[in-house]
Amino acid sequence: MLKKLLGLAPKLERDGSYSPSKIALKLSTSSKTDFEDIQYEQYQGKKSKILVVFTEQKDMIMKNGKKFSTGNHPVEALVPMLHLRNAGFKFEIATSSGKPAVLEMWAFPNEDKQVQSIYNEYKPHLEQPMRLRDFVENSMSDVGSYAAVFIPGGHGAMLGLPEDEHLGKILNWAHDNDLYTLSICHGPSAFLATTLNNQKFLYTGYEMAVFPDSVDKNTPMIGYLPGHMPWGLSERLKKLGAKLANKKADATVCLDRKLITGASPSASNALGKLAANTLLKELKP
């Protein structure tokens, strides 16, 4: 009751899940983003497509059994997409089974016209995405049309994607064909899909920016999470041989070979700029 009075209690939703408390939302979200509307030289080549892999799952079961209402973080998805779109790239949207992509709409920056614009543009594709299986079977042969694979963050990226064999195939396909892989915050949880069927972790020895477990452990105190995480991402990646570039949930971004990563929602703008400039430079005729 005291936490509720202080605004620290997670909000109970009608479906029985919990979204962040008033205080947590005030501290961690904003009605506008720091997106920089940069005028890029538009990419005109054949490798204009970027596959964006969203989660289709909403509820993360915490250690105490409570459900956290999650999905992909809209800023982490849409701000990098804005930069890449402005640089001339187009997106194909996919989820594991083709069910609609799920976004953490409680984190949506409702007063940001640029973010709202690209969300409206791709909303039909978010509601009717392709299946990852279909991409593997029908699109991987057209490697010459793709520049990158992008996996946005949000705790929902930890649900289903790490166990998706088709995603593991897609990440290996991107790696083997010198495409870029982009991810942010909890998105690198999807990289665990490369270890399925006793395969070696694809990114051993890579430096990457990832949301720190230490921050996830503290967020229940302010009601961001309704309980402690079921498992920790950054430590698991570290144990597999990844080199973590950050210790805080900050604006850190990292480029290592063909892997571009960001640490948190605060890195969304920087990740978009780094990705757009890197792809334009790499793919310049």
Residues annotated catalytic, as ranges: 185
Q: Other CB atoms closer than 10 Å to residue 65's CB: what's the count?
A: 8
Q: One-letter amino acid identity for 86?
A: N
Region of residue 133 (left: phi > 0; alpha: psi -120 to 50; beta: else) = alpha
| Block residue for tokens 């982490």 | 76
Q: Could you give the CA distance from residue 176 to residue 139 in angstroms, rounded to a whole number? A: 15
Tokens 């790696």 sit on residue: 175
Backbone angles phi, psi at 31, to 5 degrees: -75, -15
Contact criterion met (CB below 8 Å) for 82 and 74: no
